[in-house]
Chain A
Amino acid sequence: MDLLIFLLFATIAVICALNLVLQKHPISSALSLVGVMASLALLYLQLGAEFIAMAQIIVYAGAIMVLFVFVIMLLNAGAEATRGRSWMAQIVGFPVLLTLFGLLCWFAQRTSPTAENVKFGDFTGGGAQQIGYALFTDYLLPFEVTSILILIAIVGAIVLARKELD
């Protein structure tokens, strides 16, 4: 059963990701990205990461993608113009990508040959309580630094996007 769920949502994720790259219009790409994120959230749930799955839905598929869709709407972005690529990019690009993929898969196979299989319910340490405990004990300093980073990002976004005052 676990395997069926994994295969189903992995397939959805890959199809949506391919759609994201192949679509011409940015809004179709944005909606495909929401599909990738939702199916990844299901896979996180399967891996016992309840809190991360919910954060994925709320923060990624919710907040960040709304921001993207809002900017696409605001800029009235149309379908992108296609133009010829250089012959070198056409010849070299695909083998290089394939090499990257092969290397990543090789490392994936090498990393954990003896690891036990993933089953739903094996690991239950990913709830909000455990995450919160770790966040405010072992990871307190990164947490605070991240909050300052967010503050800087907010100020930066406002400074960049405001109207020039003469």
Chain B
Amino acid sequence: MDPASALQALNSGIPIAWYLTLAAVLFTIGVAGFLLRRNIITVFMCIELMLNAVNLTFVAFAHQHRDVSGHLYAFFVMVVAAAEAAVGLAIILTVFKNRSTLNIDEIDTLKN
């Protein structure tokens, strides 16, 4: 590629699909961590990662449609994530108080 066309490619912006692909990568990593990890706090953090990936698609589509609604959805997702983190961490505290473990394999009261 000669320098002129390389410069043009650099200045032509980013396809919207790249943002969506990045969001897909982050979401898949979040799913993988959610399924693979055994620490309940890390599992919780992977959920936050997935929420962040979805927020990125919202903001990218808001840019594509030149509409501020996508930003508001991202904002509401953030608020709900904050509420979820507060309640979820309180639940984790209670579980740890009662069972002294953070391993999700050992929290299996409802199994069988």
Contact = CB atoms under 8 A, between A and B. Distances in A.
Contacts of B82: 59, 63-64, 150, 153
User: Which 10 A-B pairs give the minimum distances between C-beta atoms?
Assistant: A117-B13, A108-B20, A153-B83, A104-B24, A21-B33, A160-B90, A119-B13, A80-B39, A157-B90, A101-B28
A65 B28 CA distance: 21
8 contacts: A3-B12, A33-B45, A68-B89, A80-B37, A101-B24, A108-B17, A117-B15, A146-B79
Contacts of A109: 17
Nearest to B25: A14
Given A43-B56, A157-B86, A36 B26 contact: yes
Q: Interface size class for chain A?
A: 35 or more
Given A126-B68, A139-B72, A156-B87, A26 B39 contact: yes
Nearest to B74: A52
Interface in A1-46: 1-4, 6, 10, 13-14, 17-18, 20-21, 26, 29-30, 33, 36-37, 40, 43-44
Contacts of B78: 52, 55-56, 59-60
A75 B10 contact: no
A75 B71 contact: no
Given A49-B63, A118-B19, A149-B83, 8 more contacts: A13-B26, A33-B45, A49-B62, A67-B86, A80-B42, A112-B64, A119-B13, A150-B83
Main secondary structure of the interface of B (DSSP, over half): helix
Interface residues of B, number: 74
A160 B28 contact: no
Given A1-B11, A146-B79, A112 B72 contact: no
Contacts of B80: 146, 149
Interface of A: 1-4, 6, 10, 13-14, 17-18, 20-21, 26, 29-30, 33, 36-37, 40, 43-44, 47-49, 51-52, 55-56, 59-60, 63-64, 67-68, 71-72, 74-75, 77, 80-83, 85, 89, 93, 97, 100-101, 104-105, 107-109, 111-113, 115-119, 122-123, 125-126, 130-131, 134-135, 138-139, 142, 146, 149-150, 152-154, 156-158, 160-161
B94 to A, nearest CB: 5
Main secondary structure of the interface of A (DSSP, over half): helix
